[in-house]
Structure 1
Amino acid sequence: MQNNFISTPNLPPAQLPTKRVGRFYLSERIGMGSNGAVYLGHDPVIDRDVAIKIFSAGNNAADKKQREQQFINEARAAGRLSHPNIVTIFDASSEGGTTFIAMEFLQGKDLRHLLADGKQFDIIETANIIQKIADALEYAHGNGVIHRDIKPANIFVLPSQQPKVVDFGIARAPNRVLDETREQAHTLFNNNIMGTPNYMSPEQANGKQVTALTDVYSLGAVMFEMLTGQKPFQSQDVDKLLQQIVSKTPKNPSEISANIPDSLSRIVMKAMQKDPTARYESAAEMSLALEKFLERDKKLKRKRKKQGNDTDKEVDAAGHSNSWLSWVAVILAVLAVAGYFLNKSQMLR
């Protein structure tokens, strides 16, 4: 799903499939995705705008059931979560042959589009955004939900720089409806990729069972790209890309750019360890590491500011001292001149 829950200028106009779903009125299409489209809607009961995602399997009936299960799974997974950095689900239903999800209407852009547009996040912006996402993932994991598809397209950034995790379509949750046996049988190597190759963990790339630490790895991969402007692994061939993820160690971000602090680079590399047991033990631990980095930065800035203020005071003090001495010199000069003329006047008498 595109996850742009705002009007998209390049999106061609489309006729509304219906004027109303449930209690929600539709006004315009604002996004497109593989499982359907997103529309701007309005909730007349609470009088607020919402984003309405309507399921559409297209013409391929073979995978319709699986896609519909993913669609319902998104509602079930995200619907049980309430966190400031996770998109809020208001309602989900199937009525008159239409399956839909009503969620909060987000102003802004997803991280994928921001990066594609050339947006360069500084190290503090990056650390702040990733730290908030890590907090959101820890909350989700605590509620039994593993996202399994953390990537820039699934991180929405509001104008205030507040990030939101979206699209829980392939999330693992206690109330999910996907057939586990069927899902395990469909591996990454027969064109049924559960997750996005560039950001998926080595265990995902190997088609192995995943834990919450797969989200930690993927978040590290997103952080890598935000800091360096490039993906940790790149290849047009999916098999080669997956092989790199499984066996190749990415460059240290601070080796790519000298402006990236080693301490921040170490956070990325720890999150992206091949062995899950070598990563942070949880998203909470990763969040804490980022929080400590940000706190050190704040202390350093306060120290520099204090040093700057002390220097200004010394300069001011020196300026006042020099100014006082200048006035004394002027007064003495005036007195000397006055004394000279006074003595000359007395001599003439």
Structure 2
Amino acid sequence: MSATASSRSHYSEPHRIGRFSIAHELGRGTTGCVYLGHDTVVGRDVAIKTANPRLSGSDKARCERQLINEARIAGRLSHPNIVTIYDASSEGGVTYVAMEYLQGHTLARLLDGGRRYPAHEAASIGWRIAGALEHAHRRGVVHRDLKPANIYMVNDLQPKLIDFGIARGPNRLPDDEVRPDEVVTLMAGEQLLGTPNYMSPEQARGEPVDARTDIYSLGAVMYEMLTGCKPFQAQSADKLLQQIAYKAPRAPHEVNPEVPMSLSRVVLQAMSKRPEKRYQSAERMALDIRRYLLKERRARRRLNLAVDAAVQAAERDEDTRAPDRRLLLAGLAAAAVLLAAAAAVLKFG
């Protein structure tokens, strides 16, 4: 019997939570458990998040307060790239949050499974997440734990920002009420909120944060998508945090020569050590990513034109069976120029 099966044998899976009928368990973490439910009133499937049934006492109470807090914060948001919260309540001794049921995988699972994203796809995902952050920030919500595990890919290029468990927003809980699995303890005994690899330098130093902490984290996520590796790696959490706080990462285009320099600059600006040197809003970051995507689209259009020109020249040659070499060479030369121009735009932006 697997560890998961063994743990499930110690409790009975609920058949109903609130007004929702329960189909089966979707997954669980240290403190939470998620079920596939069905809303019999409106006739739709939902994901039901509750406290892990193995928790008891103060741990369970803390997790339940956290669930309600998460619902209050995320429930303020309505954006196509943020998971939708439908309901939250405490009934029959169970505190739960009902949210949009997403089918797909987290970005973390895809990256760990070897999924690699070309520059334009990484940029497209980053652009959508930046838009989601701008929506949240304008409503006073700072996610504070943006990472691949909290980005759910519904399809190849449609991300959804999830898990506002340690988000800061109106009516938030104090920092000592966060989930235990989201607290990093340093060797000196200091506790920090968030996930180390994607923390901003100010988070790593235990300093106050604002919306620009999410901008740094998005830069770190894009860095990993573009290069296939995290910006910083170390043997221990405290050494990793030291690197995040004080060491500059290698430029993405130096790690992966296929990364266009213009997109590399976007990531580096987002990951500036000093918040005042970063993008001052997610909107500004989204605009620069959008600018790259438009240039990339135009370059690909030129590339397609070059290929079409070469094909048409070859077809004319085949049709006449007596090629005009000057016409053929002129067509191929024009195609080569367009190819070179397209390649330069894709590389240097």
Report the alpha carbon displacement of residue 181 of structure 1 after superposing the two structures with TM: 8.2
Between stretches 315-324 and 196-205, larger displacement belongs to 315-324
Find the aligned partners of 1:156 and 1:104 in 2 and give their Cα distance: 12
Aligned to 2:27: 31
Q: Is the 8 A contact 1:35 1:71 kept in 2?
A: no
Aligned to 1:20: 16
Report the alpha carbon displacement of residue 192 of structure 1 after superposing the two structures with TM: 4.2
Find the aligned partners of 1:245 and 1:60 in 2 and give their Cα distance: 36
Does residue 259 of structure 2 align to residue 269 of structure 1?
A: no
* Percent pairwise identity: 49
The one of 131, 147, 151 aligned to 1:151: 147
Q: Is the 8 A contact 1:27 1:41 kept in 2?
A: yes
Aligned to 2:192: 193
Report the alpha carbon displacement of residue 322 of structure 1 after superposing the two structures with TM: 4.5
Aligned to 1:310: 309
Aligned to 1:339: none
* Count of residue pairs the alignment pairs up: 314
**Which structure: larger Rg?**
1
Find the aligned partners of 2:244 and 2:43 in 1 and give their Cα distance: 47
Cα displacement string for residues 34-88 of structure 1 (whole angstroms, at most 9, x for unaligned residues):
2221001011111111110112384574555543332222111111111110001
Gaps of 5+ in 1: 1-8, 326-349
Find the aligned partners of 2:155 and 2:210 in 1 and give their Cα distance: 32
The TM-score with structure 2 as length reference comes to 0.83
Report the alpha carbon displacement of residue 98 of structure 1 after superposing the two structures with TM: 0.5
Aligned to 1:206: 205
Find the aligned partners of 1:244 and 1:209 in 2 and give their Cα distance: 19
Distance of aligned partners of 1:126 and 1:151 in 2 relative to their CA distance in 1, 3 Å threshold: same
Distance of aligned partners of 1:31 and 1:59 in 2 relative to their CA distance in 1, 3 Å threshold: closer
The one of 37, 42, 45 aligned to 2:38: 42
Find the aligned partners of 1:160 and 1:225 in 2 and give their Cα distance: 16
Find the aligned partners of 1:179 and 1:260 in 2 and give their Cα distance: 41
Cα displacement string for residues 12-37 of structure 1 (whole angstroms, at most 9, x for unaligned residues):
38354421111101111111112221
Does residue 245 of structure 2 align to residue 246 of structure 1?
A: yes
Find the aligned partners of 2:177 and 2:148 in 1 and give their Cα distance: 28
Letter of the 1:306 partner, please give it: L
Report the alpha carbon displacement of residue 139 of structure 1 after superposing the two structures with TM: 0.3
The one of 153, 169, 179 aligned to 2:174: 179
Find the aligned partners of 1:97 and 1:324 in 2 and give their Cα distance: 84
Equivalence map 1:1-349=2 (5 Å): 12=5, 14=8, 16-56=12-52, 58-59=54-55, 61=57, 63-176=59-172, 178-179=173-174, 189=186, 190=189, 192-322=191-321
Report the alpha carbon displacement of residue 315 of structure 1 after superposing the two structures with TM: 3.7
Distance of aligned partners of 1:58 and 1:11 in 2 relative to their CA distance in 1, 3 Å threshold: closer
Report the alpha carbon displacement of residue 191 of structure 1 after superposing the two structures with TM: 6.8
Letter of the 1:208 partner, please give it: E
Structure 2 SS opposite 1:156: strand
Cα displacement string for residues 130-166 of structure 1 (whole angstroms, at most 9, x for unaligned residues):
1100000000001111000000100000124310000
Cα displacement string for residues 221-279 of structure 1 (whole angstroms, at most 9, x for unaligned residues):
11111111111111231111111111111111111111111111111111000000100
Find the aligned partners of 1:137 and 1:193 in 2 and give their Cα distance: 22
Q: Considering only aligned residues, what root-mean-square deviation do their CA atoms show, in Å?
A: 2.4
